Amino acid sequence: MASNPLARARYLLAAHTPRQLPPDGGFEVAFAGRSNAGKSSALNALCQQNALARVSKTPGRTQQLVYFEIVPTASMPLEGRYLVDLPGYGYAKVPQELQAHWQGFLDSYFGSRIALRGLVVVMDIRHPLKDYDRQMLGYAAERGLPAHVLLTKADKLSRGAAMNTLQAVGRELASAFGDSVSVQTFSAPSKQGVDEARAVVANWLDMRER
């Protein structure tokens, strides 16, 4: 892409309950990932911003649905385009009441949110397809939504090892979900795969160059 529409993303709100969500219109792409998978870094890289999503050395800081709005421009006057940062921890690491709350909230969000057009699941390439990842992909599959997997931190592996993991994960995803889930390698520091991932998200948001 000659220009990056995601670079116009800005923080809008954080929702702890369904009532706090913005009106259900437009287009949304949700981002999910286990603690330390690199979700915040991936969001920042896609949006070409250093601090849009908070990068923390303490896993699990995202405890709400955080909405980022993509600001319309004269050349692309599309309103109601959002990136949604989902809670980034495994349920086992939080109190049982909060587990139940988020289970219900995400059930409702994935089951009824009309604006939701796709899900990006961020996985550390060294530890892919954990229970949380499968749960998030299951949400998308139940709704009939496309999903795209980013195997992050690919710079931590040799090219050969990264390709082997990509192929293995791709086979497992195809077996479980057919062609509704795509997968790629990704590295925020080296920018590997950033353009590819950005194109997927922009397509779901209907923000491709005309």
116-124, strands of its sheet edge to edge: 9-15, 65-70, 81-85, 27-33, 116-124, 147-152, 181-185
Rounded Cα gap, residues 28 and 102, in angstroms: 19
Say how far apart CA 2 and CA 131 lie, in whole Å.
38
Structural domains for the chain = 5-204 (3.40.50.300)
Structure confidence at residue 161 as a pLDDT band (50, 70, 90) = very high
What is the overall mean pLDDT for the chain? Answer: 90
How many percent of the chain have pLDDT more than 70? 90
Note the Cα 37 to chain centre separation in Å. Answer: 11
User: Which residue is listed with tokens 């192929």?
Assistant: 167
**CB contact set of 9 (below 8 Å; sequence gap of 6+):** 47, 49, 52, 68, 69, 70, 71, 83
The alpha helices in 116-189, defined as continuous H runs, are 131-143, 159-177
pTM equals 0.93
Q: Are strands 147-152 and 181-185 parallel, antiparallel or unpaired?
A: parallel
> Does residue 210 surpass a pLDDT of 50?
no
Q: Give me the pLDDT at residue 98, please.
A: 82
Residue 122 has a pLDDT of: 97
Inter-axis angle of helices 194-204 and 39-47, to 10 degrees?
Answer: 80
Q: Which residue has the tokens 């993509």?
A: 70
Q: Could you give the dihedral angle defined by the CA atoms of residues 41, 42, 48 and 53, in that order, rounded to the nearest 10 degrees?
A: -50
Q: Give the β-pairing of 81-85 and 65-70.
A: antiparallel
74-113 per-position pLDDT tens digit: 667 778 999 999 986 655 567 788 878 888 999 999 999 9
